[in-house]
């Protein structure tokens, strides 16, 4: 992480934290419960790539197994998880790049039953007095990378995650306020339908 990227990320996180009071490390069971109760949500996000490039957009979550990132102009990219796949839509291509969702760290928080206390899933669980950070991985396939989840408490809220891929790169997603329990159409996560629409728009 470059100094510029680190400073930017810290500033955004500080601006979004709701509680200034010092907090204890939130137990893994409480964090798992929060994620399992996060069925649908919509909100803004800021993404910081490993290169330091910053993007913004809207995120839609429909657990289990579904998430959608719509990037604001001038970005024309889109990322969708649904049907067990993760599709990355790049404006330079008519077809998205597709990956198995269970081979990405995002599958950890999109699982039907999140259990951060599962043996060898969590490799780090710390608190800085304001946030609790958990580093989690697929215990059976650590080569897929890991995800750092940053939470605040009172009440528990997911504020940020960092995807650490198996090649040594990282992507930070900083969440704005999430509207939870909102209606999120299944159509948003239909990769086949979105691929057809994408090709027509290119």
Whose CA is closest to 54, among 2, 126, 113, 123?
A: 2
Q: What pLDDT, on a 0 to 100 scale, did the predictor assign at position 188?
A: 97
Say if CB 149 and CB 143 are below 8 A apart: no
pLDDT at 197 over 90: no
Across 130-140, average pLDDT: 95
pLDDT of residue 15: 47
Q: How far is CA 141 from the centre of its chain?
A: 19
Which of the two residues, 190 and 11, has the higher pLDDT score?
Answer: 190
| Per-residue model confidence as pLDDT tens digits over 50-65 | 889 999 999 999 999 9
pLDDT of residue 23: 64
Domain that holds residue 106: 3-201
Is residue 70 a contact partner of residue 78, using CB atoms and an 8 Å limit?
Answer: yes
- What predicted TM-score, i.e. pTM, was given to this entire model? 0.86
Chain mean position to CA 69: 9
Domain count across the chain: 1
Task: Tell me the CATH number at 90.
Answer: 2.50.20.10
How far is 40 from 49, CA to CA, in rounded Å? 25
Q: What is the pLDDT of residues 3-37, one digit of tens each?
A: 454 545 545 554 444 444 456 899 999 999 999 99
Question: Strand pairing partners for 58?
Answer: 44, 70
At 4 the pLDDT is: 52
- List pLDDT tens digits, range 74-133: 998 999 999 999 999 998 888 899 999 999 999 999 999 999 999 899 999 999 999 999
């Amino acid at each position: 992480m470059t100094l510029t990227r680190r400073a930017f990320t810290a500033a955004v996180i500080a601006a979004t934290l709701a509680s200034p009071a010092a907090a204890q490390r939130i137990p893994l069971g409480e964090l798992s419960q929060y994620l399992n109760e996060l069925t649908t949500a919509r909100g803004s996000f800021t993404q910081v790539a490993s290169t330091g490039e910053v993007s913004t957009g809207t995120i839609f979550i429909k657990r289990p197994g579904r998430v959608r990132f719509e990037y604001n102009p001038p970005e024309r990219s889109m990322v969708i998880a649904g049907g067990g796949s993760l599709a990355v839509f790049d404006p330079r291509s008519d077809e998205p790049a597709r990956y198995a969702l269970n081979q990405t760290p995002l599958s950890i928080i999109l699982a039907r039953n999140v259990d951060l206390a599962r043996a060898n899933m969590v490799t780090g669980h710390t608190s800085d007095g304001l946030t609790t950070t958990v580093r989690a991985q697929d215990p059976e396939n650590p080569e897929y990378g890991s995800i750092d989840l940053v939470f605040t408490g009172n009440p528990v809220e997911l504020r940020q995650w960092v995807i650490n891929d198996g090649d040594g790169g990282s992507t930070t997603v900083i969440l704005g306020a999430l509207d939870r329990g909102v209606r999120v159409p299944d159509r948003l996560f239909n990769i086949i339908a979105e691929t057809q629409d994408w090709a027509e728009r290119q």
